[in-house]
Structure 1
Amino acid sequence: MDLSYEKLKQRVKQLEQETRFYQNLIKQIPFSFTYTDYKEGMKLEKKRGNISPTIQSIPASSKKDTDLQLDIDLNHDVLFEKVEKFLTPIFDLVPHHIVFVDGNGIITLCNLQTAIDTGVDRDSIIGKHIRELLQLPDELIVTLQSIKKKEPIYNREVFDRFYGIINTRFLYNNDGSIKRVISTFQSLTMMKETEKLAVAGRIAAGIAHEIRNPLTTVRGYLQFLKGELPDQIVSLIDRLLIPELDRANSIITDFLSIAKPANIKMEKMIIHRFIQEDLGMLLQSEALLHNVNIHFDLDERLDNCVIKVDKSQLLQVFLNLFRNAVEAKVKKTMHVTISTKLYNNIVQIRFCDDGPGIPPTIIGHIFDPFFSTKETGTGLGLPLSRKIIELHKGTMKVESGDNGTCFLIELPLENC
């Protein structure tokens, strides 16, 4: 009997403890809700502002088990910082700039596209003033103008470091002060580049139809006639005419690559293995021929990280960059450095040379189709290279000065 009584006391104590536990849990819930258990014939209701809920009896029913109704006010019941934390991975999928600031211009949310385009670390920019993100004086920052005037901006075109359309919207506290200013920026720079490529595509289509067939016909007849011509003429055909026809056909192929890029065949690869083995072997042989020293500076954090790429097309991009560097070199020996860095869940690959650099007057045009400073250049190598990177969902940029030129390629990581 004594043993049974002790077990009963322990069970009662346990039930009392569990009841207090549930009561304390409900007190911590910040929002209003109603929970109804029809089988038990009980209804629990917690109202906003009340710590303890009320429990009342209702007619029992077997037609329905339970019902839960929530009344959540994001301005009162949930810390807005938690809402922003929830929204961040969603906004990271948006290819435009999205930035939240408080009433003082302090950044509370910054999506991935903004961080990539402005060249900042997304985690470190949170809590900083928006001027540190945009690197502009306050009077040129439209978001700050919107805060100062307490007026939202609707589809304003801006021409500062970036070119595009900006919008701002406000969220307010109960006292009427600004809780957040939501700024969205749609870059039009890419649209301009797309228009250029579209024009190039239309030119390419016309060239392909009007020129490629006659070139093929002429080449075929030259091959056919070689057997009936003197050796001197045959030598001229082999050394000059056919190679020039093939070069013209190659240029047309490049034109068509802009108009309609080849299908990419993606495969998963460890990024450093690709750089050291595939790219390294390709460039080392070229480097020996052109008196170039190649150095790799790889971020250890990326040793096991995987990217999804078309290996042959990505190799073509780096081969284009290498050949451009070699053609520009003026020193007896050129040094090329290929480095990687883990940044915002993407891999940054820098291809840098110590050549003469690109003049400031033309650096803004090097990705334009058909722009070239070389006598025999077509101006298609860099536009095609950037197109390949964009097909890999990446970006390609250039920096240049007296100490050389760096191409920055950013690619998304598959896993790391």
Structure 2
Amino acid sequence: MDYYELEQLKKENQMLQELLTDLPMSFTFQHKDGYTINKVDGHPLSIEASTEIECNKLNIMPEIIPFKEIEVFVAPILNLIPYHIVFLDSDGIMTFCNDQAAVDHGEAKGSMVGRHIRDLIKIPDEKIIILESLRTNQEIIDREVLDRNYYKVNTKLIHNSDGSINRVIGVFYFLKSIKEAEKQAVAGRIAAGIAHEIRNPLTTVRGYLQLLQSKVEPKVANLFSELLIPEIDRANKIITDFLAIAKPAQTNMEWMNAGYFLNDYLITFLQTQATLYNVDLQLEINPNIDNLFFMGDREELLQVFMNLMQNSIQAKNIEKLKITIQVQEEENYLQVIFADNGSGISPEVFANIFEPFFSTKDYGTGLGLSVSKKIIENHSGLLTAKSNQHGTTFYIELPIK
């Protein structure tokens, strides 16, 4: 191998290292020969080997491995990346196409090597951005393409010693989901603003109804107290719950002793509801939790359990409703299991129980479980559920100190 060939291989390898360094992700790749490539997003590649001999072998790798073999070497790494990555030769033929690109275009993994890029993208050559780099011999940096997919393109060129193109590497970052999330966030802020503005006149109307209630005949006064004012309160409750989902709420986080919160604070409110609705409420707490602390807002967490209690009451069947609350330590979490013996949730409904405004009740707002899930997530916790014909169980996990 002459000097120019060695220099060419060095350059090709350097370009490949730059490509891996620029990828917006982290990974660890263990090679069969015993060395490891570590990539931390925003940092250069780190190459480690288990022995001095392997280090020496790795040091001369850029000088002895041709680029087509380097493609084979990096393929397992690039196949882990959730973006589209393709390598083209000077004729536009794919020498590498990662799994994500093949699958998203409806092709079998590994089936695109040796085929023209147009066979993958299925649009005219003049509209294929990566071919533009071949035609112009210019790299493309962060070009946004506004089509039905909406994505950002970067290309890198690898040249032969005579200046001709050996490879063009294309990386396609799909931005459609990001833009959709941005639009939903804007829509949420607008909706929250509208909801807030609606609540203000409702409060004014409610105040005037209370004022007039004592000045009208009893029949009209009963209409105010039994229909109009309760409906305004219901509308205000819906708006309050919606705002709890649509925008961050101010919370009063504090370190709380798990035993005190459950035994002395929470159970007081739940027992009142249980007595009112003739519910058999059982609290089973592992004594170890008296030594556990977690960060939380007691008022918000109370709201979660009151929502779960209300759901259980609404799901009561012909048997007396029984609710069991089990509390235990699970690894680094405080786990609360809230189970009832109600009628359960049908499978076709169960998948949507945490969706806002989803309700099977004519009088329900469909926001109780949505708000509860949001509150637990704001506590860095997790709220899940399972259900069958024998009842429904909710699992709450909160990180503990």
TM-score category by the smaller chain? 0.5 to 0.7
Find the counterpart in structure 2 of residue 155 from structure 1: 82
Amino acid at match of 1:357: G
- What secondary structure is seen at the aligned counterpart in 2 of 1:207? helix
Find the partner of 1:223 among 181, 204, 210.
210
Note the C-alpha offset of 1:314. Answer: 0.7
CA distance, structure 1, for counterparts of residue 324 and residue 214 of structure 2: 51
Q: Distance in 2 between matches of 1:356 and 1:214?
A: 40
Q: Which has the larger radius of gyration?
A: 1
Taking the TM superposition and a 5 Å limit, the aligned residue runs for 1:323-338 are: 323-338=310-325
Alpha-carbon contact 1:196-1:369 (below 8 Å) kept: no
Q: CA–CA distance in 1 between the matches of 2:215 and 2:228?
A: 16
Deviation at residue 296 of structure 1 after TM alignment: 2.2
Q: Distance in 2 between matches of 1:282 and 1:224?
A: 32
Alpha-carbon RMSD: 3.5
Offset at 1:386? 1.1
3-state DSSP class of the match of 1:206?
helix
Match of 1:308 in 2: 295
State the secondary structure of the residue aligned to 2:348: coil
CA contact (8 A) 1:355 1:404 kept: yes
Greater than 3 Å deviation, 4+ residue runs: 98-104, 149-152, 156-159, 191-202, 223-228
**How far did residue 335 of structure 1 move?**
1.5
Determine the structure 2 residue equivalent to 1:376.
363
Paired position in structure 2 for 1:202: 190
Alignment CA distance shift 1:264-1:409 (3 Å): same
- 1:368 Cα deviation (Å)? 1.0
Match of 1:257 in 2: 244
- Quote the offset at 1:322 in angstroms: 0.6
In the other structure, the counterpart of 2:279 is 292
The answer on 1:322 being equivalent to 2:249 is: no
Within a 5 Å distance, the mapping from 1:334-373 to structure 2 comes to 334-373=321-360
Give deviations 1:227-268, integer Å, cap 9, x for gaps. Answer: 542222122212221221222122222222222343111222
8 Å Cα contact 2:192/2:247 also seen in 1: no
Give yes or no for contact 2:312–2:342 (8 Å, CA) kept in 1: yes
Change in CA separation of 1:366 and 1:101 when aligned onto 2, cut-off 3 Å: farther
Q: Is the 8 A contact 1:270 1:305 kept in 2?
A: yes
Q: 2: distance between equivalents of 1:226 and 1:238?
A: 8
Name the amino acid aligned to 2:300: Q
Q: CA deviation at 1:396?
A: 0.9
Report the CA distance between 1:321 and its aligned residue. 0.2
The answer to whether the 8 Å contact 2:29/2:77 transfers is: no
Gaps of 5+ in 2: 1-25, 33-71, 84-99, 105-176
Q: How far did residue 301 of structure 1 move?
A: 3.5
Q: Which amino acid aligns with 1:317?
A: V
Percent sequence identity over matched residues?
Answer: 41
Check conservation: 1:395, 1:410, Cα contact below 8 A. yes
Q: How many residues align?
A: 247
Q: Using structure 2 for the length normalisation, give the TM-score.
A: 0.54
The whole-number CA distance in structure 2 between the counterparts of 1:375 and 1:207 is 22
Match for residue 63 of structure 1? none
Q: Deviations over 1:315-369 (max 9, x none)?
A: 1110110110011111331121111232221111111111121111121211111
Separation of aligned partners in 2, 1:208 and 1:410: 32
Could you tell me which runs of 5 or more consecutive residues in structure 1 were left unpaired when the two chains were aligned: 1-97, 105-145, 160-188
SS, match of residue 362 in structure 1: helix
* Counterparts of 1:100 and 1:333, CA distance in 2: 56
One-letter code aligned to 1:246: D
| Aligned equivalent of 2:231 | 244
Q: Deviations over 1:13-54 (max 9, x none)?
A: xxxxxxxxxxxxxxxxxxxxxxxxxxxxxxxxxxxxxxxxxx
Task: Give the aligned residue type for 1:269.
Answer: M
